[in-house]
Amino acid sequence: MNEPIKTDALIIGAGPCGLFAVFELGLLDMKAHLVDILDKVGGQCAELYPEKPIYDIPAIPYITGQGLCDALMAQVKPFGPTFHLGEMVETLEKIGEPLFRVTTDQGKVFEAKVVVIAAGGGSFQPKRPPVPGIEAYEGTSVHYAVRKMDVFRDKRLLIVGGGDSALDWTLNLTPIAKRVTLMHRRDQFRAAPDSVNKMRALVAEKKMDFALGQVTGLEGSNGQISAALAKPDKGEPYRIECDVMLPFFGLTMKLGQVANWGVNLDDDLIPVDTAAIASKVHGLLAIGDLQTYPGKLKLILSGFHEAALMAQKAYHYVYPNKRLVFQYTTSSTSLQKKLGVA
Ligand SMILES: Cc1cc2nc3c(=O)[nH]c(=O)nc-3n(C[C@H](O)[C@H](O)[C@H](O)COP(=O)(O)OP(=O)(O)OC[C@H]3O[C@@H](n4cnc5c(N)ncnc54)[C@H](O)[C@@H]3O)c2cc1C
C-alpha cells in the first residue's frame, strides 16, 4: 500500500459544496485535501452548465456556473487546499476514533481525521458507446479520458464525438500522434466554433482526417484494437486502422461506491442529523446534494450553509481538547489573518 497522505479533512467531491467546505474548514484551522473523478473542479456547475446563469446565490444577482467555480477557487486560495483530480474514491474505512483510511482508484491512500462527503449526484462517469465487445479493449486501447498525453505519442488515434472534449483532444493530440481521425455522425458539432474551425483547418492542411459515421465494431486481440468498423448515415460501411479509440460521448452520474461506506443510504441519499450534519458514522460528515434531512432543498445555497455547520462539528473531531469560539469575519482579526487581509 502507498504511504498515506495525512490530513485533517478529506473532502470527497470538488463541486461547489466541497469547495466552500475548504473555506469553512480553513477558517477554523483545518487543512483539506479534495478528491474528484473529474479533471476539473466545480462538479455539476462546471460540467453540466458552465455557461448558464445562476440567479439564486445570495447577494450575487447573476453568475454563470463556471463563474461561481472560479469565484469559489479565489475564495479558498488562502487555505491552500490540495486537489487530487481525475481520481475516484473507492474505499472508506474507519480505523480510529475518528480516523479514516480512504483509497482512490489511482492507488492513493489518505488518513483523515474527518471525511466530508460532498459527492453530489454521484461520480461523473463516461457514457459507453453502443459498440459490441468494446469492454474487452477498455483501459488498454479504448480510453474515455486522457490522463497523460504522452501515452498517445506516435499512435494512430480514432477520436469519436462532436462536443468540446472530442474537439479539444483532437487539437491537442494531433501534433504528437502518428495520425488522428475524428469521427462524428454529422458534419455539425456542439463544440466551441473556434475549435471546429481549427479542426477544419488541420483537415484542409492534411494534418488529420475527419470521417462521417458511427463505430459499429472493433477488430483486434488481447485488448489491443487494430481497426474500427464504421458506417455513415448514408453510404457504404468502411474500416479505419487505428491503435487507440477515444470516445467522448458525455458523462453520466453514478452513485458508485458510496453505498459501501457504511452510511445507511435512504433512497440513494445519506441521512444526516441536522444539528451536526453528521452521518450515522462518527466523524463522517456529509453536505450538499448527496445528503438529506427533513425539509432538505437541493440548492447550492443549502450546501453552503451545511458546509458552515459541518466545519463547526469537524472542529471537535480534529481538536477534541480545544474550545471553539464563534467569530465573524468582519470583526475577527484572527480570521482576517487566516484570510490574508489583516
Ligand atoms: C442544469 C442544472 C442547473 C442548476 N441550476 C441551479 C441553480 O440555478 N441554483 C442552485 O442552487 N442549484 C442549481 N442546480 C443544482 C446544483 O448544481 C447542485 O445543487 C450542486 O451542484 C450540488 O453541489 P455538490 O457540491 O453537492 O455536488 P456536485 O456539484 O454534484 O459535485 C459533486 C462532485 O463529487 C464528485 N464525486 C462523486 N463521487 C465521487 C467519488 N467517489 N470520488 C471522487 N469524486 C466523486 C463528482 O465528480 C462531482 O464533481 C442545477 C443543476 C443542474 C443540473
Instruction: Flag whether the pTM goes above 0.85.
Output: no
Q: How far is the CA of 254 from the centre of ligand 1 (A)?
A: 12
Cα separation, 253 vs 262, whole angstroms:
21
**CB distance 123 to ligand 1 below 6 Å:** yes
Residue nearest atom 14 in ligand 1 by C-alpha distance:
299
**CB distance 288 to ligand 1 below 6 Å:** yes
Give 96's pLDDT tier (boundaries 50, 70, 90).
very high
pLDDT at 104: 96
Q: How far is the CA of 34 from the centre of ligand 1 (A)?
A: 15
Pocket test for ligand 1, best of 300, 302, 306 (most atoms within 8 A of CB): 300
| Secondary structure E strands in the chain | 5-12, 32-36, 53-54, 63-64, 82-85, 89-96, 99-104, 109-117, 123-126, 156-160, 179-184, 209-212, 214-221, 224-231, 238-241, 244-247, 251-254, 270-271, 284-286, 291-292
**CB distance 43 to ligand 1 below 6 Å:** yes
Cα separation, 280 vs 263, whole angstroms:
6
Hunting for cell 425539509 — which residue is that? 295
> What is the pLDDT of the chain when averaged over all its residues?
93
- 79 pLDDT more than 80: yes
Residue nearest atom 27 in ligand 1 by C-alpha distance:
120
Q: How far is the CA of 290 from the centre of ligand 1 (A)?
A: 9
Residue nearest atom 46 in ligand 1 by C-alpha distance:
123
Tens digit of each residue's pLDDT (9 = 90 or more) over 193-237: 999 999 999 999 999 999 999 999 999 999 999 999 999 999 999
Tens digit of each residue's pLDDT (9 = 90 or more) over 167-202: 999 999 999 999 999 999 999 999 999 999 999 999
**CB distance 65 to ligand 1 below 6 Å:** no
Cβ atoms of 218 and 229 within 8 Å: the answer is yes
Cα separation, 98 vs 285, whole angstroms:
11
